[in-house]
């Protein structure tokens, strides 16, 4: 393992830049230079790496699809199985491919309108209002 010792705010920090056989010297030097730039700007490279990793994890945990599946698990307990299957298929086929991986706070009205128009263009005129209604319940 290639490590680099640096001092940040009076504390010794060690930053791992890669594992020797799988990381080339060029890659390690690039990572070292990037860490030096962060350090020169007053940013702890190790804490920056942790923050970026946490942010990417938060995005996947707070995605529309994860929240919708949690909402649906609560909702489907009081629903007829046929209706539950209909909603699940609707979300899997028409909603999740377009906005499933995005955070709820990032989804805006024009995006919802765009994928509703895609559903309508397929000829499923009754499906679009149903999808909009179910998405509205999830957003609330």
For 112-131, the pLDDT digits (tens) are 888 788 878 877 677 777 87
- Mean pLDDT (whole number) for 13-19: 77
Q: How far, rounded to the nearest angstrom, does the alpha carbon of residue 71 sit from its chain's CA centroid?
A: 18
Indicate if the pLDDT at residue 6 is higher than 80.
no
The residue that leads in pLDDT, 71 or 138, is: 71
- pTM for the structure as a whole: 0.51
Domains of the chain: 2-60 (no CATH), 64-139 (1.10.150.130)
Average confidence score pLDDT of the chain = 77
As a three-state string, the secondary structure of 81-98 is: HHHHHHHHHHHHHHHHHH
């Amino acid at each position: 393992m290639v490590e680099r010792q640096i001092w940040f705010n009076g504390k010794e920090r060690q930053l791992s830049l890669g594992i020797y056989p799988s990381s080339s010297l060029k890659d390690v030097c690039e990572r070292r230079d990037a860490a030096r730039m962060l350090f020169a700007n007053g940013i702890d490279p190790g804490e920056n790496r942790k923050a970026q990793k946490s942010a990417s994890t938060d995005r996947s945990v707070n995605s529309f699809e994860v929240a919708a599946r949690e909402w649906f698990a609560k909702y489907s307990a009081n629903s007829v199985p046929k209706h539950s299957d209909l909603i699940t298929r609707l979300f899997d086929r028409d909603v999740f491919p377009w906005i499933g991986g995005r955070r709820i706070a990032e989804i805006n009205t024009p995006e919802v309108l765009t994928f509703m128009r895609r559903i309508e263009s397929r000829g499923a005129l009754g499906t679009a209002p149903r999808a909009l209604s179910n998405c509205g319940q999830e957003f609330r």
